[in-house]
């Protein structure tokens, strides 16, 4: 038996692959395009491990996908592949349309052809699990209840609009063709192997380098934070027991404003890797112009997942963020390797004061 994962060299995907190999004996076929955010160094521990088969390729490649599916006969396909950075989607939405919408469509069609050709029992056991985001639901005011699976879609960025479209395609392929799908919508992930363009790793990397810690606007944008390994365990649980055609919201029950996250990171670095001048890393915080259309608040109501499938996060924010900061301090070589010239140019352009 095997499963096929797309986007398995990215942040969440790589964590999922590592946890899959650690928790099961089942082979995992890993298809990743290896864009700037895909990093084979994240999977270095699996080199020469026959349980992990890596293939470089695009989910939109309608010649490669049928070949891979026919060769490996997976019992499930898990779609992590996505362009996922809101800021990049504002500057260049085309890649997001191409990967998140067109790519998902082509992947669904390849999977549908494979699934329809399976024997009856294999058809019934097969699953297509689509990994999405809470950003499809739009923005919440401070008094609004957290997003449930019944919230209407109100995406506000090119990224979230492209993910919303992909969710709708997955739903339609289930209702029209009977494809056995599951969808998860998660809150902000954090943890090991996170590409340092996102808030938490960017703060850690910049702090250690003595650079400004750029905070958008007033820093009071609120997000629900989910430790990545908790997210991975939730996906395994949904794959195992989720109701076909259903959506499951995955959250960490950790609503916090961005500035609180930044101050927490600074306090942990003050404790674990103090500055040589005795000053706090918080002195490096710099407020920069807010990005266009910046959603004010996201929050996930994950009660359905807990009630129906018995899942809840193992980490609190306090335990998860301490593990995260420690991982970055212990893995300076990984961080240095992912910070190419293109990455540095992006950060300079994006976070101008």
**Order of all β-strands in the sheet with 255-257:** 188-190, 222-227, 255-257
Q: In the structure encoding, which two tokens stand for residue 209, read together?
A: 């380098």
With beta carbons less than 8 A apart as the criterion, state whether 237 and 309 touch.
Answer: yes
Q: CB of 91 within 8 A of CB of 156?
A: no
Q: What are phi and psi of 131, to 5 degrees?
A: -95, 120
CA-CA distance, 294 to 214, in Å (whole number)? Answer: 15
133 closest CA partner among 43, 223, 38 = 223
Provide the angle, in degrees to the nearest 10, between the axes of the packed helices 64-72 and 104-116.
Answer: 40
Cα angle 45, 47, 50 (rounded to 5 degrees) comes to 115
The b/e string for 221-247 (b: 16+ C-beta within 10 A; e otherwise) is bbbbbbbbbbbbbbbbbbbeebeeeeb
**Among candidate residues 195, 165, 40, the one with its CA nearest the CA of residue 103:** 165
Which residues are the active-site residues?
Answer: 134-135, 159
Residue listed under structure tokens 């810690």: 213
Say if strands 285-288 and 255-257 run parallel, antiparallel, or are unpaired.
unpaired
Token pair of 252 as six digits: 């960490």
Q: How far apart are CA 31 and CA 21, in angstroms?
A: 16
In the chain, % helix, strand, coil (3-state, to 5) comes to 50, 15, 35
Q: Residue 247 is encoded by which pair of tokens?
A: 């959506």
């Amino acid at each position: 038996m095997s499963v096929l994962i797309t986007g398995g060299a990215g942040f969440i995907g790589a964590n999922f692959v590592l946890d899959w190999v650690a928790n099961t004996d089942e082979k995992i076929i890993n298809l990743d395009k290896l864009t700037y955010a895909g990093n084979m160094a994240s999977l270095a521990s699996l080199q020469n491990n026959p349980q992990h088969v890596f293939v470089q390729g695009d989910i939109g490649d309608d010649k490669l996908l049928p070949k891979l599916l026919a060769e490996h006969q997976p019992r499930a396909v898990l779609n992590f592949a996505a362009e996922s950075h809101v800021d990049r989607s504002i500057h260049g939405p085309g890649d997001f349309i191409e990967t998140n919408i067109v790519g998902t469509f082509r992947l669904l069609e390849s999977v549908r052809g494979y699934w329809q050709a399976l024997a009856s029992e294999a058809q019934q056991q097969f699953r297509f699990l689509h990994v999405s985001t809470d950003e499809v639901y739009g923005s919440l005011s401070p008094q609004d209840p957290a997003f449930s699976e019944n919230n209407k879609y109100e995406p506000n960025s090119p990224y979230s609009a492209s993910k919303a479209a992909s969710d709708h395609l997955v739903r339609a392929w289930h209702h029209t063709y009977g494809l056995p799908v599951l969808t998860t919508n998660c809150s902000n992930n954090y943890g090991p192997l996170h590409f340092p363009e996102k808030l938490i790793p960017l703060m850690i990397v910049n702090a250690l380098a003595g650079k400004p810690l750029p905070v958008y606007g007033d820093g009071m944008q609120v997000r629900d934070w989910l430790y990545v390994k908790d997210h991975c365990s939730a996906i395994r649980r949904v794959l195992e027991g989720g109701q076909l055609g259903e959506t499951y919201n995955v959250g960490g029950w950790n609503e916090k404003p961005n500035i609180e996250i930044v101050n927490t990171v600074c306090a942990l670095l003050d404790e674990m890797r103090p500055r040589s001048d005795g000053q706090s890393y918080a002195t490096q915080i710099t407020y920069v112009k807010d990005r266009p259309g910046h959603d004010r608040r996201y929050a996930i109501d994950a009660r359905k997942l807990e009630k129906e499938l018995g899942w809840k996060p193992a980490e609190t924010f306090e335990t998860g963020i301490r593990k995260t900061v420690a991982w970055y301090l212990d893995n300076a070589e990984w961080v240095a390797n992912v910070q190419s010239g293109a990455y540095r140019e992006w950060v300079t352009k994006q976070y101008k004061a």
